[in-house]
Amino acid sequence: QVQLVESGGGLVQAGNSLRLSCAASGRTFGGYNVGWFRQAPGKDREFVAAINWSGRSTIYADSVKGRFTVSRDNAKNTMYLQMNSLKPEGTAQYYCAADGSWPIRVRSALWGQGTRVSVSS
């Protein structure tokens, strides 16, 4: 198994950008499909973006298409989420997840502790 640690969250103004990172421990990172989810206060956790083990396939939620880009560097055991044109509704705790299945199955995924993103209007 891998352990996941997110970083890169913070407070930004609407329209600005942030890049989140998800660092994984263990040598098996390259065998996992990984993705980002977020949970806003009082709301359910929702899917944001995912990338398969090779990096050749990606999936995005409609709400972030064209603004967010997910990528990974298996040599560095790290996944990234480049978030551009951020909106106040993007305020949430962002979590990375890893799963052997594609698409990622929430119930069986491994999760990080999350990183907080706050977008001010």
When pLDDT is averaged across residues 77-97 and rounded to a whole number, the result is 97
Average pLDDT of the chain to the nearest whole number: 96
- Residue 37, pLDDT score: 98
Task: Reply yes or no on whether the pLDDT at 26 is more than 90.
Answer: no
State yes or no: cis peptide before 41, omega within 30 of 0.
Answer: no
Across 1-121, the runs of DSSP E, i.e. the strands, are: 3-7, 10-13, 18-25, 33-39, 46-51, 58-60, 68-73, 78-83, 92-99, 110-111, 115-120
pLDDT tens digits, residue range 56-81?
Answer: 999 999 999 999 999 999 999 999 99
- Residue 103, pLDDT score: 93
